[in-house]
Amino acid sequence: MSQDKNALQDYLATPTRIVRLDDFGKDFVFGSAGAAYQFEGAAQEDGRGPSIWDVWTINQPSHIADRSNGNVAIDHYHKYKEDVKLMKKAGLAAYRFSISWPRILPGGRLSGGINREGINFYNNLIDALLAEGIEPYVTLFHWDLPLVLQQEYGGFLSENIVKDYCEYVELCFWEFGDRVKHWITFNEPYPFCVYGYVTGSFPPGRGSSSPNNNGAICRHKGSGVPRACAEGNPGTEPYLAGHHLLLAHAYAVDLYRREFQNGTKFILKQQPYQGGNIGITEVSHYFEPLNNTQEDRNAASRALDFMLGWFLAPLATGDYPQSMRNAAGDRLPKFTPEQAKLIKDSYDFLGLNYYTTYYATYTPRPSDQPPSFSTDQELTTSTERNNVAIGPIVGSNWLAIVPRGIYNLLVYVKEKYNVGLIYITENGMNEVNDTNLTISEARKDPIRIKYHQDHLHYLKMAIKDGVNVKAYFLWSFADNFEWTDGFTYRFGIFYTDFRDGHLTRYPKSSAIWWTRFLNNKLMKGSSFKRLTQNQREDDSDSPKKPKIRNK
């Protein structure tokens, strides 16, 4: 379903619940998020090696909606000092960014040499953040695998990736861990594995030979448009890549805990332990049954298993969800007893990215098609029921505004997986990059303000109902390169001028709202009059907790 401007205006006119900073407690952290390939640019500067995304965008620009790439992105590499100042001015207490593996290890591993210029960049960024009182939250892998490892042994299709990943993260812990106290091993394994090995819309571009086999795939932050792939097996490769990713995560967490968090390296050097924490970031929609039938309730449960449980259940139980075992059989790899023990409880916190909610309905496995990740689920997802959208559609047709979903997802995660500490590591919405608008016009984003207000309200309700959430990172700090969507959509609270030759940042209305919110002030002024007239504070409508379905 495409964007309906009338629906968005109707949404804007509905009452907005007031949220205040002190609703969340003094130890709650508000920040913004970004990622190396989407933000940094400087792709061929100061010794950085190529990643799989460099080759994907440059050699075959048709993969990207506007044929753009991240060579320059929004030039955060050169503009980080300016960006940090803007974060400080907005009142943001934390910045979640990722380290580019090929920027510090161009050859993928230590034997290929350490790039000190890359190390220096991240040292400078971390120091600049801390100097402004902004806490760094560092993601170690946000999809930009060094190209050399993909070419040498197929990247995450080989268990060799576990050793090389651990070598890379050990260098990061050593170089930055004296100041970085919050580590995220992987960002969103689901789209990395599904778009890379099922739909073929992300590098390495493997998957189905027919783009029509992927109707159950949920799109997320990128068009995710299936391609006709000449190579790959969507019935085995996504599971294999995900398995190796989970092993890399588990061994990296074990390494950090043994040698850095409370470890031997610092005993030998008579230095204090780093004492940070480490986790993983997963993305999931919430899923509701399309019809009030047991088949569709089971389909919604399976959708959560395949999108979220795939990478969360092993951390909670030591194995994959039973529904995935039942569906994929021997195509889903098994953990050894030693691996299962290592992976269980291999996180201090769970990072959770939420954007929207989908309907799910039972769809039998096609008898005339080979098994694949998408057909294994036996479901189809949709943003509409009886031609009525689940919520107003914003810029991308996959993103409906469904604020209640963040509550439902948080309660589900707590009750099904007993997760003790959660950070919302991404939440946000986009609008089309309309080049006909002036900068002044494009900076007015009342829908984004209301989106965040409504989600914060439901987040507050989840906390009130016992979910231990301690951080919220908005996506994103600034408009940036949005993967296969290129620069065609804008997610930022700061407007990035893609045409002035300087990538100048300007605060949108949402940045002004966040500044006031983070200073614990109610919105005032004529520019927000229409919104404030519709605000109400009402905690009595806390949604019913979702029932946990284990089938």
Nearest alpha carbon to residue 332 among 321, 340, 342, 343: 321
Who contacts 74 (Cβ-Cβ below 8 Å, separation ≥6)?
A: 38, 39, 41, 478, 479, 480, 481, 496, 503
pLDDT tens for 56-77 read 999 999 999 999 999 999 999 9
pLDDT at 1 over 80: no
Please tell me the predicted confidence (pLDDT) of residue 5: 82
pLDDT at 113: 98
pLDDT of residue 4: 77
Q: Is 300 exposed, middle or buried, given 0-12, 13-18 or 19+ CB atoms closer than 10 A?
A: buried
493 contacts 511 by C-beta, under 8 angstroms: yes
Report d(CA 375, CA 373) in Å as an integer: 6
**162: which 2 tokens?**
């576990």
Flag whether pLDDT at 137 surpasses 50: yes
Where is average pLDDT lowest: 239-243, 357-361, 381-385, 540-544?
540-544
Q: Has residue 490 been placed in a domain?
A: yes
pLDDT, residue 540, reads: 44
- State residue 113 phi and psi, 5-degree precision: 100, 145
Mean pLDDT of the chain: 92
**Confidence (pLDDT) at 273:** 82
Q: Name the nearest CA neighbour of 299 among 218, 223, 377, 201.
A: 377
- The DSSP code for 49 is P
Work out whether the CA dihedral 402, 406, 411, 414 comes out positive or negative: positive
Say if 368 falls within a structural domain: no
Residue 124: the pLDDT is: 99
For residue 476, is the peptide bond before it cis, meaning its omega torsion is within 30 degrees of 0?
yes
- Burial label, 441 (beta-carbon count in 10 A; 0-12, 13-18, 19+): exposed
pLDDT at 54: 98
Q: Has residue 432 been placed in a domain?
A: yes
Cα-Cα end-to-end distance for the chain: 30
pTM of the model: 0.93
pLDDT of residue 258 exceeding 70: yes
Taking phi first (over 0 means left), then psi (-120 to 50 degrees means alpha), and beta for anything else, what does residue 187 get? beta
The predicted-structure confidence for 91-119, as pLDDT tens digits, reads as follows: 999 999 999 999 999 999 999 999 999 99
Has residue 269 got a pLDDT over 70? no
Judge whether residue 266 has pLDDT over 70: no
Average pLDDT over residues 37-48: 98
pLDDT band at 272 (very low <50, low <70, confident <90, very high): low
Residue 509 lies in a domain: yes
Tokens matching residue 495? 């407007």
Task: Look at residue 494 in the predicted model and tell me its pLDDT.
Answer: 99
- Look at residue 545 in the predicted model and tell me its pLDDT: 55
Supply 452's token pair: 């965040």
Structure tokens at 542: 């806390």
For residue 530, the enclosing domain spans 1-24+398-551
pLDDT score recorded for residue 539: 41
Which amino acid appears at position 250 of this protein? A
Considering the domain boundaries, does residue 273 fall inside one?
Answer: no
Residue 5 in any domain: the answer is yes
**Total Cβ atoms within 10 A of residue 464:** 12
What CATH number has the domain bearing residue 533?
3.20.20.80
Question: Distance of CA 85 to CAs 473, 512, 529, Å?
Answer: 17, 15, 28
The proportion of the chain whose per-residue pLDDT surpasses 70, expressed as a percent, equals 88
- Is pLDDT larger for residue 148 or for residue 230? 148
Interatomic CA distance for residues 34 and 477, integer angstroms = 7
Whether a cis peptide bond, with omega within 30° of 0, leads into 546 is no
Return phi, psi of residue 257, to 5°: -65, -40
The confidence score (pLDDT) of residue 543 equals 56
CA–CA gap between residue 373 and residue 376 (Å, rounded): 5
> Would the pLDDT of 276 be above 80?
yes
What would the two tokens of residue 319 be? 């194995």
Q: Identify whether the C-beta of residue 427 lies closer than 8 Å to the C-beta of residue 396.
A: no
pLDDT at 544: 57
* 18 against 375, higher pLDDT: 375
> How far is residue 515's CA from residue 493's CA, in Å, rounded to a whole number?
11
For residue 90, tell me if it sits in a domain.
Answer: no
pLDDT at 262: 83
Give me 380's structure tokens.
């189809």
- Tell me, what DSSP letter sits at residue 261? I
What is the average per-residue pLDDT within 525-546?
Answer: 43
**In contact, 316 and 250? CB cutoff 8 Å:** no
Q: Is residue 217 part of a domain?
A: no
Give the model's confidence band at 234: pLDDT under 50 very low, under 70 low, under 90 confident, else very high. very high
Stretch 323-339: mean pLDDT, rounded? 98
Confidence class of residue 520 from pLDDT cuts 50, 70 and 90? confident
* Dihedral sign computed on CA atoms, order 394, 396, 402, 407: negative
Q: Assess whether pLDDT exceeds 80 at residue 346.
A: yes
Task: Yes or no: say if 232 and 328 are a contact pair by the CB < 8 Å rule.
Answer: no
Q: Which whole number is the average pLDDT over 116-142?
A: 99
What are the beta bridge partners of residue 30? 472
How many percent of the chain have pLDDT more than 90?
A: 85
CB neighbour list of residue 483: distance below 8 Å, 6 or more residues apart: 38, 202, 221, 222
The catalytic site residues sit at: 426
Please name the residue that has the structure tokens 């030759």: 501
- In the chain, the number of structural domains is 1
Nearest to 404 by CA among 460, 321, 447: 460
Is 424 exposed, middle or buried (CB count within 10 Å of its CB: 0-12, 13-18, 19+)? buried
Please check the confidence at residue 341 and state whether its pLDDT lies above 60.
Answer: yes
User: Mind giving me the DSSP string for 487-517?
Assistant: TSEE--SEEE-SSSSS--EEE-HHHHHHHHH
228: confidence class by pLDDT, cuts 50, 70, 90: low
Instruction: Calculate the CA dihedral of residues 114, 120, 125, 130 and round it to 10 degrees.
Output: 110
> Which tens digits make up the pLDDT trace of 478-502?
999 999 999 999 999 999 999 999 9
pLDDT at residue 229 tops 80: no
- Beta strand ranges found along 383-468 (DSSP E): 384-385, 388-389, 422-426, 431-432
Per-residue model confidence (pLDDT) at position 532: 34
Q: Which two tokens stand for residue 402?
A: 């469904």
